[in-house]
Amino acid sequence: MRFQHHNSGQTTAPAVDGAAYAPAAVEFRQVDKSFGPHQVIHQVDFSVARGEVVAICGPSGSGKSTLIRLINQLESISGGEIFIDGQPTSALTGKALRQLRTHIGFVFQQFNLYAHLSALDNVSLALIKVHGWPRLKAHAKALSLLERVGLGDKAPFFPAQLSGGQQQRVAIARALATDPSLILFDEPTSALDPEMIGEVLQVMQELAHSGITMIVVTHEMSFAREIADRVVFMDGGAILEQADPETFFTAPAHPRAQRFLQKVLNPLHARVEDA
C-alpha cells in the first residue's frame, strides 16, 4: 500500500495577534519511569504540536509503549512532569483525571473490545455510561463512526464475528467517540495478519489528514515514512533521535538508529551479517 505523506508543520502553534505561542498538545519535561529498581524511561524531554502526527519506533523493550501510556496515566510517572495543552497532569486524580482521558483516545495492540457487546455498543458505551447520552443519540453517532472506518454494515456484529482488522477499526471508532483532540496508538497493527494491516493503516492515514494529534508506536516503517510528520527513535528508555521522515530514513544520525534501520529495512541482509 502506498501512502500520501501528511505534513502538518511545526512543533508549536503560531502566535495570533501577537499572543504567546500556544502550548504543545503534549510535552514531557525530564520524565522518568521506573518499575521497582528497573528504570524504563530516562529523563525524556519531548513535545508534540497540535495536529502533528508522530511515529515512535525502536527495538522491542525500548520503552515506546510505556512512554505513551504515561500520557493518560495508564502508568504513572516516577519523576518530571507531563503537560497536556500546557497544563501539568501528573497530580490529577478522580474526576479531573477522567475528564482528561475523555480528550485522549487510546487504541491498544489487542483491540480490548467487549466480547459480549456488538460493534455498535462497543463504540457507544462511553457516550452512554460516562457522558450520559441517550441511547438513540449515542447509537447514531456510533453508527456514523463505524461508517467512517468502513464498517457501517458490521454494527450488529460481535467481536468474534469480525476479523482482526475489523476489530481494530471498531477500536479506532471507539477511540473517536468522545471527539478527542489526541489519539495514542500502541502498535495497532502488531496483532494483525499481514493482509489485514493495510485496512487499519488506511483508516489511520485518513485520520492523519483530519487535524487530530496522533502519537503512534509502530513497527510499520511505511506509515512512519509516508504519513508521520516526525519520527522519534527510542532505545534503552531514551529518545536517541528525532527527525522528519526523509532525514530519518535516508540519513539517520545516531549509530543505534542506523543499525535498527538496517535490520528492519534489510532483514535478510541483517540476519546473514549476524550469523
Element (H, E) at 255: helix 255-265
Place domain 26-103+181-269 in its CATH homologous superfamily.
Answer: P-loop containing nucleotide triphosphate hydrolases (3.40.50.300)
How far is 165 from 232, CA to CA, in rounded Å?
A: 26
Which whole-number Å values give the CA distances from 88 to 24, 42, 69, 81, 96, in the listed order?
Answer: 12, 19, 16, 7, 12
Per-residue pLDDT of 208-229, as tens digits, reads 988 899 999 999 999 999 999 9
Whether 202 and 151 have beta carbons less than 8 Å apart is answered as no
Instruction: Give the start-to-end residue ranges of the domains of the chain.
Output: 26-103+181-269, 112-179
User: DSSP secondary-structure letter at 252?
Assistant: -
Residue 187 confidence (pLDDT):
94
Residue 102 confidence (pLDDT):
87
pTM (2 d.p.): 0.89
DSSP string, 130-188: TT---HHHHHHHHHHHHHHTT-GGGTT--GGGS-HHHHHHHHHHHHHTT--SEEEEEST
Per-residue pLDDT of 43-71, as tens digits, reads 999 999 999 999 999 999 999 999 999 99
